[in-house]
Amino acid sequence: MSTDEPKTDAQWRAELSPEQYRVLREHGTERAFTGKYWDHHANGEYRCAACGAPLFSSSAKFDSGTGWPSFYEAVDAQAVRERTDNSHGMLRTEALCSRCNSHLGHVFPDGPPPTGLRYCINSASLSFHPRD
Ligand code: FE
């Protein structure tokens, strides 16, 4: 899947809130326990807040205790792109939207079964859509 930037920086600034822009486009992190989805338990789909691509299902969400929405898998293998992140003196795996290349959060190898992965995602990067 292409990871070309689909919009200009000016377009992202115009369309996103300041907090969304800081997280999605500047690889920021929201403060723990402050986002709108860390304690959110409804059934539905979490989509990219920047481009609307489906990213995570509520069925893969679990309570990690971290204060960020956490999932053990993405909706499909192509939805989330991973890359090495050496920033802040840590070696981490960054999670990005495959469609628009926006920053979502990080992936850690300490999640629950069946994958053992923990996608630690900023609420600011997500838009929830209930399933009926
Ligand atoms: Fe996206």
CATH code, domain carrying 41: 2.170.150.20
Q: Token digits for 34? A: 């402050």
pLDDT range class, residue 108, cuts 50, 70, 90: very high
Q: Token digits for 50? A: 């920047």
User: Does the reported pTM lie above 0.85?
Assistant: yes
Distance from C-alpha of 32 to C-alpha of 126, rounded to nearest angstrom? 15
1-15, 23-37, 91-105: least confident range:
1-15
- Looking at residue 4, its pLDDT comes to 59
Sign, CA dihedral 79-37-13-96, equals negative
CA of 37 to the centre of ligand 1 (A): 17
Mean of pLDDT over the chain: 95
Which residues form the catalytic set? Answer: 120
CA of 92 to the centre of ligand 1 (A): 20
Distance from C-alpha of 17 to C-alpha of 124, rounded to nearest angstrom? 9
- Assigned domain for 2 exists: no
CA of 25 to the centre of ligand 1 (A): 10
- Assigned domain for 16 exists: yes
Q: Which domain holds residue 62?
A: 9-130
Distance from C-alpha of 77 to C-alpha of 64, rounded to nearest angstrom? 22
- Looking at residue 132, its pLDDT comes to 75
- Assigned domain for 29 exists: yes
Domain total of the chain: 1
Q: State whether residue 120 is helix, strand or coil.
A: strand
Residue type, 76: D
